[in-house]
Amino acid sequence: MILVSVFSINLHSQSYKPEKIYPEKQKVLNYLSRPEIIEKFGKISDALWSYAELGLQEFKSAGLLSKTLEEEGFVIEMGLADMPTCFIATYGSGKPVIGILMEFDALPMLSQKGRVPYKDPLIPGAPGHGCGHNMMGAASAAAAIAVKQVMKLYDIQGTVKVFGSPSEETAISRPYMVRAGLFNDVDVVIDNHSSSEFRTNYGVSGNAMYSTIFTFSGISAHSGSSPWRGRSALDAVEIMNVATNYLREHLHYTHRMHYVILEGGEAPNVVPDKASVWYYVRNTDERVKEMHERVINCARAAVLATDTELDIRYLTAIHQRHANKSLAELLQRNMEIVGMPEWTEEEHEFAREIQKNVEVKETGMPLKVNPLKKPSETFVGGGSSDVGDVTLIAPTATLRFPGLIPGSISHHWSTVSATYGSAAWKGLNAGAKAIAASAIDLLTQPEELKKIRTEFEEYSKDHPYESFLPEDAVPPLDLNKKLMEKWRYMMEEHYID
Ligand SMILES: [Zn+2]
């Protein structure tokens, strides 16, 4: 059992420069500065952390977040876009419609005890929150509820929609949510992510991606007595992988490509009649489709060589992010008003211990809000997020709020350790304040929204949205089912409710 004492957390409110802040915005910041509100959403973050549910299996997480919003008067639509854990929570009516994205899924194999600065799994091999989506779920809920309080108090017109988006770690839900038309009436979207910094950016970033499973079918046979009667599906997987690894040299340098073998037989004396490999193929929006087709050719070559059959299953296909500059500027202004949380010496010390253990400079927690980041001049690729598709449907920018340890490794025990407890509570609270303050600006300052919309409409002329997802692709609801069934009953003992 790991517990964090509320009394160890420095809950006093930050001070704001009054000249910059009009009453509606001040109210939203005051609401989120209340110690009982910081504690309420901190505890929600810790509860989600303990559930650590994998993509499309987030039944408890989506349940807790939607219930929290429903109790505050939001109307919940659950099970959208053919995904049981996808939901929208709506408050208010009419224009403008402000969207807030919300994520809550965990990652496999990363189980770790909270606030322990060295590798120490809670349940070895079980899932863990190695990207801070538990903090993000709580931050989005806190921000939306704070905005609702102020809309009610000042009779502000408009609608707030929280988009409960499952399975971001496998970048699955958003292209299906866009295809189902869930974003059609939304004027602007505020996205968020946990970070070791407080920052935002604009322009193009990250990679577009195809996520596909290649399954080969052959004929089983006794590998010793009659191997000539068999056709090995595992051989096909291996030949495909050899071919794609040769292909790397001839791809444009913006590419990234990785795979895991999902099935490769169960015993050496049976020729495997089924084998499968899961690929992530990443590149720019312009190059990803062609790269994907060349990878398919490698699979076809393996079919010819092994006399097997091939099935290609699309899990997702997504665009790069195209963040709106005017919206990022607005987020930046509000982040600067909110400021960096005040960390305790214990929180700095914990950060330094983690930094020592992952062999980076021991700087402690961050002290300043970063300046607005321009798009990089040279393509740096990196990860992918299904937020990309949303950015082409409505003006969107991502606010990254602090709480994680500078220099720690994403998708690693060091991040799981830090996404639980006091610094995570403070970081998500700072994020919620900046999101809520920005939403209040968008609801009450029509000229801000107009500027953002004009920039988006201009950009959309040259970048019309076209989904990379094949028409017959469906959300892979079975993807993490077995894994979650394997771990859930052990994890239940450690749930924090
Ligand atoms: Zn993430």
Amino acid present at 426? K
Q: How far is the CA of 385 from the centre of ligand 1 (A)?
A: 8
Q: How far is the CA of 132 from the centre of ligand 1 (A)?
A: 7
Confidence class of residue 27 from pLDDT cuts 50, 70 and 90?
A: very high
Q: How far is the CA of 463 from the centre of ligand 1 (A)?
A: 25
Q: How far is the CA of 193 from the centre of ligand 1 (A)?
A: 7
pLDDT at 382: 85
Q: How far is the CA of 402 from the centre of ligand 1 (A)?
A: 13
Whether residue 471 has pLDDT greater than 80: yes
Q: How far is the CA of 133 from the centre of ligand 1 (A)?
A: 6
Confidence class of residue 5 from pLDDT cuts 50, 70 and 90?
A: very low
Q: How far is the CA of 192 from the centre of ligand 1 (A)?
A: 9
Q: How far is the CA of 197 from the centre of ligand 1 (A)?
A: 14
pLDDT at 201: 97
**Mean pLDDT confidence for 98-123:** 97
pLDDT at 378: 83
Q: How far is the CA of 412 from the centre of ligand 1 (A)?
A: 12
Q: How far is the CA of 18 from the centre of ligand 1 (A)?
A: 34
Task: For 254-311, write each residue's pLDDT tens digit.
Answer: 999 999 999 999 999 999 999 999 999 999 999 999 999 999 999 999 999 999 999 9
Confidence class of residue 4 from pLDDT cuts 50, 70 and 90?
A: very low
Q: How far is the CA of 129 from the centre of ligand 1 (A)?
A: 9
Q: What percent of the chain has pLDDT over 90?
A: 94
pLDDT at 19: 47
Confidence class of residue 13 from pLDDT cuts 50, 70 and 90?
A: very low
Task: For 425-470, write each residue's pLDDT tens digit.
Answer: 999 999 999 999 999 999 999 999 999 999 999 999 999 999 999 9
Cβ(10)–Cβ(430) below 8 Å: no
Q: How far is the CA of 331 from the centre of ligand 1 (A)?
A: 19
Whether residue 8 has pLDDT greater than 70: no
